[in-house]
Amino acid sequence: MTYYVGVDLGATNVRAVVADAEGRIIGTAKRGTPRGPTGIAVTEAVLGVTREACDDAGIDPEDAVSAGIGSIGPLDLAEGAVENPANLPDTIDRIPLTGPLSVLLDTDRVYLHNDTNAGVIGERFHSERNPDDVVYITVSTGIGAGVCIDGHVVSGWDGNAGEVGHMTVDPHGFMTCGCGHDGHWEAYCSGKNIPRYAYELYEEDPTVDTDLPVDDPDFSAVDVFQHAGDDEFADYVIDQLCHWNAMGVANVIHAYAPIVVYIGGAVALRNPTQVVDPIRERIEEMVMVNIPDIQLTSLGDDVVVKGAVASAMTGGTGDRARL
């Protein structure tokens, strides 16, 4: 029998799955991502969940023929490692991945991707049409994209293609992004920045009547979406978010000409009618080329780990012709 391993290394959890020759998931395991002391502890957690997923599937790790990894970044693709991950403590400088996993599984076929590229591979693989031209956009703590065009998953020389959350959408730079620059899409619309943006909009006119707890240190994106429909100011904030989101997606469409755009990430998954539907409604006003299908991801929270397995099965591509 042929078996494949998929790993999702996130800032919160490490997950691994084992799939059989048909891609059916037959073993899973999950742990919290270690916060230190060093990157080696994270590497060990990746190896540990992979062993557990193999146990769960009733196979030996060496029975896997290949593996895919979808990981937080930034990546050092040449070294097969994560380098100074932004969302883990500073003591974690380097997380070796492909080398140690190759040793555990006794295979050279280990494909490393950033999480959005794993996402687009999963979307491509599981999409009915197995499209050559597809973009996956995550609207989560941050905003990013995985891009597959003309059948190629785009990574860039250093693996940083698809950082679309840092495209400038607001030339006036009303908001400053976490990266330090002004007017970036993510500075307005990511889960982390939505409450900051709502607060800044409120500060423009503090006399506005709203139930949003804008001054509460725990004020979050969840509050904004929960008050939708009952609170005029919350509706105004969401309308602004939709405006920037549609602009960001329109820019991505003009750059890449995808036939389908899948949108995922916690903000979109929890609020599809307030996040994804308005993009679809507004995009026609903003795009001069063919309008792609715009869909909520059908892979939910599993998009990265399913993409990692799909990568293992298709030589890092998501192309079902390569099965």
Whether 94 contacts 132, CB under 8 Å:
no
| Smallest distance, Zn ion to C-beta of residue 154, A | 19
| Smallest distance, Zn ion to C-beta of residue 187, A | 6
Residues 304, 308, 309, 310: what is their CA dihedral angle, to the nearest 10 degrees? 90
The answer to whether residue 166 forms part of the interface with Zn ion (CB under 5 A) is: yes
Q: Residue holding tokens 């990013």?
A: 144
Residue number with CB closer to Zn ion (166 or 306): 166
| Smallest distance, Zn ion to C-beta of residue 54, A | 39
Q: Single out the residue of 25, 88, 92, 177 in contact with Zn ion (rule: CB under 5 A).
A: 177
| Smallest distance, Zn ion to C-beta of residue 167, A | 9
Q: Which stretch binds Zn ion (CB under 5 A): 6-14, 20-28, 164-172, 220-228?
A: 164-172
The answer to whether residue 124 forms part of the interface with Zn ion (CB under 5 A) is: no
Q: Which stretch binds Zn ion (CB under 5 A): 115-123, 139-147, 170-178, 210-218?
A: 170-178
Size, binding site for Zn ion by CB under 5 A: 4
Residues 258-277 that bind Zn ion (CB under 5 A): none
Whether 129 contacts 113, CB under 8 Å:
no
| Smallest distance, Zn ion to C-beta of residue 166, A | 4
CA distances (Å), origin 192, targets 24, 255, 322: 34, 26, 38
The answer to whether residue 243 forms part of the interface with Zn ion (CB under 5 A) is: no
Judging by DSSP bridges, how do beta strands 260-264 and 293-296 pair with one another? parallel
Residue number with CB closer to Zn ion (15 or 166): 166
Give backbone dihedrals phi and psi of 215, rounded to 5 degrees, phi first. -90, -10
Give backbone dihedrals phi and psi of 175, rounded to 5 degrees, phi first. -110, 145
Question: How big is the CA angle at 179 (ends 224 and 205), to the nearest 5 degrees?
Answer: 40
Residue number with CB closer to Zn ion (147 or 214): 147
**Which distant-in-sequence residues (6+ apart) come within 8 Å of 95 by Cβ?**
9, 39, 40, 42, 43, 46, 71, 81, 82, 85
| Smallest distance, Zn ion to C-beta of residue 140, A | 15
The answer to whether residue 179 forms part of the interface with Zn ion (CB under 5 A) is: yes
User: How far, in Å, CA of 17 to CA of 111, rounded?
Assistant: 15
3-state secondary structure (DSSP) of residue 244: helix
Q: Which stretch binds Zn ion (CB under 5 A): 31-39, 175-183, 212-220, 249-257?
A: 175-183
- Give the up-direction half-sphere exposure of residue 222: CA atoms within 13 A in the CB hemisphere: 3
Q: Single out the residue of 15, 113, 126, 184 in contact with Zn ion (rule: CB under 5 A).
A: 184
Residue number with CB closer to Zn ion (184 or 306): 184
Residue nearest to Zn ion (CB): 177
- Give the up-direction half-sphere exposure of residue 254: CA atoms within 13 A in the CB hemisphere: 12
| Smallest distance, Zn ion to C-beta of residue 155, A | 19
Q: Which stretch binds Zn ion (CB under 5 A): 73-81, 93-101, 174-182, 216-224?
A: 174-182
CA distances (Å), origin 7, targets 49, 108, 114: 9, 16, 11
Residue number with CB closer to Zn ion (212 or 249): 249
- Interface residues with Zn ion (CB under 5 A)? 166, 177, 179, 184
